[in-house]
């Protein structure tokens, strides 16, 4: 892999109470004590503080799974960047396909959220990916290009290196169907090409693969030069299997 530090993120989605989150972190930390990688736990809002407290003094970073683009306001049920920063959260997933498909997350909102996160000092983990229909229709690149251009429209060239992008083909999420290492690398190389048009940040920016990453397929995916890490859902609910994926990154 080039100089880019591998980035392995656990996306817990709507799993883990505070007690369960604490038990996970306590079990994970000794297993990854020697890692040089970026290890990130994307916890539900309610468990963020518990994870933050346990990881002080370790390499683990903590991320939220969504945020609003306004700092405060009449937005019932939402959480803002300053609220996350106050908790010592360092990153935030934006545009996960479940948010896009189930909760009406739009590219317009993401175009505001990504620069808002960066301005607040939160590392955005921007998710992009095509549906099965789009892939079958040969539209994968068009979908990725559209999402990247829309969602990153207001991010300056100098700030792009601070964004992490997760390529997550929707047909591979939670389905047990993983993109082959070739498919993932091809799509990620295309994502980097789109970013390269905006400047040199393309060589620094980390691009992850997500979609049914497991201990038994992680090494194959992460061995690819273009694949800088993984966003892991189901297999990140168990500290043992998540630690194996961290190790598989080399």
As annotated, the active-site residues are: 96, 168
Using rule CB under 6 A, residue 95 touches ligand PGA: no
Using rule CB under 6 A, residue 11 touches ligand PGA: yes
Integer Cα distance of 60 and 54 in angstroms: 9
178 Cβ contact partners less than 8 Å away, ≥ 6 residues apart: 172, 211, 212, 213, 214, 217, 221
Integer Cα distance of 182 and 179 in angstroms: 8
Cβ nearer to ligand PGA, comparing 201 with 239: 239
Report in angstroms how near the CB of residue 162 gets to ligand PGA at its nearest.
Answer: 20
Q: Which member of 151, 212, 217, 218 binds ligand PGA (CB under 6 A)? A: 212
Integer Cα distance of 104 and 93 in angstroms: 15
* x/- track of binding to ligand PGA for residues 157-176 (CB under 6 A): -----------x----xx--
Report in angstroms how near the CB of residue 13 gets to ligand PGA at its nearest.
Answer: 7
Give me the DSSP letters along 150-181: HHTTTS-GGGGGG-EEEE--GGGSSSSPPPPH
Cβ nearer to ligand PGA, comparing 115 with 210: 210
Interaction site with ligand PGA (CB under 6 A): 11, 168, 173-174, 210-213, 231-235
């Amino acid at each position: 892999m080039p100089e880019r530090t591998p980035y392995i993120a656990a996306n817990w989605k709507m799993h883990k109470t505070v007690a369960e989150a604490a038990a996970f972190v306590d079990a994970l930390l000794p297993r990854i004590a020697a890692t040089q990688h970026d290890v990130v736990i994307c916890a539900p809002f309610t468990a963020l503080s518990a994870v933050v407290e346990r990881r002080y003094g370790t390499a683990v970073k903590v991320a939220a799974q969504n945020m609003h683009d306004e700092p405060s306001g009449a937005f019932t049920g939402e959480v803002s960047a300053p609220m996350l920063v106050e908790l010592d959260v360092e990153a935030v997933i934006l545009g996960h396909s479940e948010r896009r498909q189930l909760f009406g997350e739009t590219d317009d909102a993401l175009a505001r959220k990504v620069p808002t996160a960066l301005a607040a000092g939160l590392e955005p983990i921007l998710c992009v990916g095509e549906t099965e229909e789009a892939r079958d229709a040969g539209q994968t690149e068009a979908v990725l290009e559209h999402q990247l251009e829309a969602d990153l429209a207001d991010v300056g060239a100098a700030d792009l290196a601070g964004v992490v992008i997760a390529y997550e083909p929707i047909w591979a999420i939670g389905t047990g169907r993983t993109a082959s290492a070739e498919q993932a690398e091809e799509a990620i190389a295309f994502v980097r090409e789109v970013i390269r048009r905006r400047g040199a940040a393309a060589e620094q920016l980390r691009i992850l693969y997500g979609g049914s990453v497991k201990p038994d397929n992680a090494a194959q995916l992460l061995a690819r030069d273009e694949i800088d890490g993984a966003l892991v859902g189901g297999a990140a609910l168990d500290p043992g299997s998540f630690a194996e994926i961290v190790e598989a990154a080399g």
